[in-house]
Amino acid sequence: MKRLLFFLFLFSLLPIGAQTIVYDTIRVSPGDERNIHLNRSRKTGAASEPSRKKSVSAGKQAAAFSRSKLRFGANLGLSVSLNYTNLGIGPQIGYQFNKYFMAGAGVKYYYTRTRTVEYGIKSNLLGINMFGYLYPVRFITLFAQPEINYIRSTLTPWSAREKITNRGFVPSLVAGAGFRLGGSHVTLNYDLVQHANSPHPEGFFLGVSAFF
């Protein structure tokens, strides 16, 4: 009799144990709070959010170019007298990399006419250049400008009236130092190449440029 009661007691516990197992594996809706996969996805999403923010920030830092650092300027030349005329314009564009250095490129066109007692000369010059300004201190600048110019000049002797035409490419390397006044530069320059047909004067000469 005791054994029979013991087996009945064991059979009565089976439904309770089965119910406990079924409760751990019951089917729930995707949005149910008891859905363990939902909680895992939330944790994963929260952890990946800073990573996305870091990647966006890194992308912004990689784009170092800024249009606000562009500088536009020009070299202008105007000199007129009875026997000499010099007209020139040279638009330039630069980029202010930092407070110590600016560099860029430009083009220029010069027209020159000279009259002497023996002959007259007319010259047309078209050139391209690269330039750099170094600022060791705020108001001091060091300057360098390599350039290549195409020059076509015509010499006319008054006695023979026969025109002599000369044309070709002329290299120059201008270096100088001077003062920086806001966006303007006043420098004392020298052409290191000293080509016979260089458009720059022999020896030292004054250079003025302005950027905005």
Structure confidence at residue 2 (pLDDT): 56
Burial of 172 (0-12, 13-18, 19+ CB in 10 A): buried
Residues 98-109 have a mean pLDDT of 96
Tell me the DSSP string of 189-204: EEESS--TT-SSPSSE
Range of 45-49, 60-64, 203-207 with top mean pLDDT: 203-207
**CA distance to 61, 76, 77, 120, 122, per residue, from 156 (Å):** 61, 27, 24, 5, 9
pLDDT at 76: 75
Least confident span in 17-26, 32-41, 82-91, 147-156:
17-26
**CA dist list (Å): 16 to 9, 11, 12, 13, 23:** 12, 10, 8, 5, 11
Residue 152, beta-bridge partner list: 124, 167
Question: Which pLDDT score, from 0 to 100, does residue 43 have?
Answer: 53
Query: Cα Rg for the chain, rounded, in angstroms?
Result: 41
Domains of the chain (ranges, CATH numbers): 2-62 (no CATH), 67-211 (2.40.160.20)
Q: Quick one: pLDDT at residue 20?
A: 46
How much is the average pLDDT of 51-74? 70
Residue 8 in tokens: 């009945």
pTM for this entry: 0.64
CA–CA distance, 152 with 165 (Å, rounded to integer): 7
Nearest to residue 147, comparing CAs of 95, 109, 202?
A: 109
Q: How far is CA 85 from CA 156, 182, 201, in A?
A: 16, 30, 15
In terms of average pLDDT, the best of 15-24, 36-45, 70-79 is 70-79
Q: What is the pLDDT of residue 94?
A: 97
